C-alpha cells in the first residue's frame, strides 16, 4: 500500500516593500516646510513623521529587523550609549540631536548594514512618534538625496532620554547661552569707544 505523500509547507515569500509615492511639490509637506525655512534663511527644518508621509510609504516596523534597528536607534539617540561609554556620536545640548551621518555610521556597529531608507521608515512609521529628522536642501540644485528632494542632516529622539545625559545637556546649554551673551556684550562694548580712548587718540603723536 502506497503511503500518502507528506504535504510540503508553503514556501515563505518575502513581501515586496511598498513603493514610495511620487507626489507633486504642492502635496509634499516636508518640501513645503523646507521652502519656508529657506525663505527665512534657515538652513534646515525639523520634520514631524506625518510630514514624511508623501515620500516614505507606510510600513509596519514592529517586528524583525526593523524592530531591532528601532531599538538600537533608541539606545543611541536617547543617550544611553553615550552615558555607558559605548559607541555614540556627540549630542547637541541645545536640541538633543545628533548628526545624521554620524548616527548612521555608529548604527553600523550595532546593526548589520543599516540603510537610510530603513531609518527614515522607522522615523515615519513609529506610532508613538519617538524620533524626528532634520532636513536641508541637497548640496546641488535640483539634486536628490536617496531619491528624496531633501537631505537628512540631524536626527533626535523626542522622549525617554537618559537622565544623566539630560542633566549634562542642561548644564552645557546654559554655559553656551552665558558664553554667547558674554561674547556678544563684549563685542558691543568693544564697538563703543570710551572717552579715555578718544582722548588718547587725539593727544598721541609719534616720536
- pLDDT digit string (tens) for 17-63? 554 445 454 567 777 777 777 677 677 889 888 888 888 889 999 89
Q: Which residues pair with 153 in a beta bridge?
A: none
Largest CA distance in the chain: 126
**171 class by beta-carbon count within 10 Å (0-12 exposed, 13-18 middle, 19+ buried):** exposed
Q: Cβ neighbours of residue 99 under 8 Å, at least 6 residues apart?
A: 89, 90, 153, 154
Q: pLDDT tens, 91-129?
A: 998 899 999 999 999 999 999 999 999 999 999 998 788
Q: pLDDT tens, 134-145?
A: 998 877 655 667
> Any idea of the CA torsion for 156, 178, 164, 79, to the nearest 10 degrees?
20
Domain ranges of the chain: 25-193
Instruction: Find out whether 128 and 50 touch, Cβ atoms under 8 Å.
Output: no
Q: What angle do CA 123, 126, 139 make, to 5 degrees?
A: 10
Lowest-confidence pick of 45-54, 84-93, 190-199: 190-199
How far is 34 from 21, CA to CA, in rounded Å? 19
Amino acid at each position: 500500500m502506497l503511503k500518502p505523500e507528506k504535504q510540503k509547507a508553503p514556501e515563505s515569500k518575502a513581501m515586496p516593500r511598498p513603493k514610495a509615492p511620487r507626489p507633486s511639490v504642492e502635496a509634499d509637506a516636508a518640501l513645503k516646510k523646507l521652502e519656508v525655512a529657506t525663505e527665512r534663511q534657515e538652513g534646515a527644518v525639523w520634520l514631524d513623521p506625518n510630514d514624511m508621509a508623501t515620500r516614505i510609504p507606510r510600513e509596519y516596523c514592529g517586528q524583525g529587523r526593523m524592530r531591532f534597528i528601532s531599538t538600537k536607534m533608541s539606545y543611541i539617540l536617547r543617550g544611553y550609549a553615550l552615558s555607558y561609554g559605548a559607541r555614540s556620536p556627540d549630542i547637541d545640548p541645545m536640541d538633543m540631536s545628533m548628526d545624521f551621518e554620524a548616527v548612521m555610521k555608529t548604527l553600523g556597529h550595532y546593526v548589520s548594514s543599516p540603510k537610510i531608507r530603513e531609518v527614515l521608515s522607522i522615523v515615519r512609521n513609529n506610532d508613538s512618534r519617538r524620533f524626528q529628522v532634520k532636513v536641508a536642501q541637497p548640496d546641488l540644485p535640483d539634486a536628490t538625496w536617496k531619491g528624496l528632494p531633501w537631505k537628512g542632516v540631524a536626527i533626535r529622539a523626542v522622549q525617554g532620554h537618559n537622565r544623566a545625559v539630560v542633566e549634562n545637556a542642561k548644564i552645557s546649554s546654559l554655559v553656551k547661552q552665558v558664553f554667547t551673551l558674554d561674547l556678544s556684550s563684549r563685542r558691543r562694548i568693544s564697538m563703543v569707544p570710551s572717552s579715555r580712548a578718544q582722548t588718547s587718540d587725539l593727544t598721541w603723536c609719534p616720536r
